[in-house]
Amino acid sequence: MIIKDIATASILGCKVHLLNMAEAVQIVEQLVKDGQDGNQVVTLNAEIIYQTKKEIELQRIINSASLVTADGIGTVWAARVLGYPQKERVSGIDLLHEVCAAGATRGWKLYLLGAAPGVAAKAGQKLERSYPGLKVCGSRHGYFSQQDEPKIIAEINSKSPDILLAALGAPKQEYWIDQKRDALKAPVCIGVGGSFDVIAGIKKRAPKLFIMLNLEWLYRLLTEPSRWKRQLALPAFVLAVLKQKYGRTN
Ligand code: UDP
């Protein structure tokens, strides 16, 4: 499977690939196999799509990414409302686990960048334990200054990972990967938000029932009330999508 064969949706001007998890993993496998450095993978949620209305640069980054998946139910809903056959939600943390499972059988090397000091290292140990065969070739926390960046990139490149997982939060990680992708020697760079916190056991993911009922966003709102400001974008997102559907773009 090659990425060019996968159809895309256009949601408020943002590209989203129409695929399921198995296909997303196949694309990642193909990109690693091809070995060309600097492919960006974005797992896109509604808040970020809405943010691109004000940040055109973010829209450019999303549209030039190699793979864009529908991270949240809002993105899946929008694609379907607009008439695109979006298959399923492919969230950052689920994609991370599936990529680790695929990487275990192929001996892939992963570099983990992001989260508070100690968290990426702990997440890395847990992933190596859960997916024997997978190699975490390095990790580093995500609180650094611009001056630190050349050293960080040199360190990542010295380990030549197959995949760089960047957990700096969205959209910081999307900007960062875009800015550094020409300098990074890694075929695939995936932005994975707060995934390291969950894998390291610092934060809990929503219970399965919330995920099944497509209410993961509600669980996050209840457990991290500080997110309410970000989630205020959701009703505005719904409205903007309906405007796109019925032909009014402003
Ligand atoms: N983070 C980081 N560097 C920063 C800001 C944030 O490494 O400068 C990390 C933070 O510690 C957390 C993650 O990025 O692990 C953001 O998590 P959040 O759940 O807010 O991200 P989202 O999934 O909403 O993108």
Query: From the CA of 115, how far away is ligand 1's center (Å)?
Result: 6
- Burial annotation 174-185 (CB, 10 A radius, 16+ → b, else e): bbbbbebbeebe
Q: What is the DSSP letter of 5?
A: G
Please state which of the ranges 49-58, 159-168, 207-216 shows the lowest mean pLDDT: 207-216
Atom number in ligand 1 closest to CA 171: 25
Q: What are the residues facing 140 on neighbouring strands?
A: 113
Q: Which residue's alpha carbon is at the smallest distance from atom 1 of ligand 1?
A: 168
The answer, yes or no, to whether residue 8 has pLDDT greater than 80, is yes
Instruction: Name the residue of 165, 176, 197 to mutate for ligand 1: max ligand atoms within 8 A of Cβ.
Output: 197
CA 115 – CA 129 distance, rounded (Å): 20
Pocket of ligand 1, beta carbon within 6 A: 114-116, 142-143, 167-170, 172, 193-194, 196-197
Give the distance between the most distant pair of CA atoms in the chain: 52
pLDDT digits (tens, 9 = 90+) for 75-91: 999 999 999 999 999 99
Structure confidence at residue 43 (pLDDT): 98
Report pLDDT for 3. 86
Give the residue whose CA is nearest to atom 17 of ligand 1. 194
Percent with pLDDT over 90 in the chain:
86
Mean pLDDT for the chain overall: 95
Q: What is the pLDDT of residue 248?
A: 58
Tell me the best of 47, 168, 190, 217 to mutate to test the pocket of ligand 1, counting ligand atoms within 8 Å of each CB and taking the most. 168
* pLDDT tens profile 87-135: 999 999 999 999 999 999 999 999 999 999 999 999 999 999 999 999 9
Peptide bond into 171 cis (omega under 30): yes
pLDDT at 249 over 60: no
Whole-Å CA distances, 31 to 41, 42, 66: 10, 14, 9
Q: Which helix (H) or strand (E) holds 176?
A: helix 172-180
Check if the beta carbon of residue 129 is closer than 8 Å to that of residue 157.
no
- List, for residues 24-37, the tens digit of each pLDDT value: 999 999 999 999 99
Pairwise CA distance, residues 111 & 74, whole Å: 30
pLDDT at 200 exceeding the cut of 60: yes
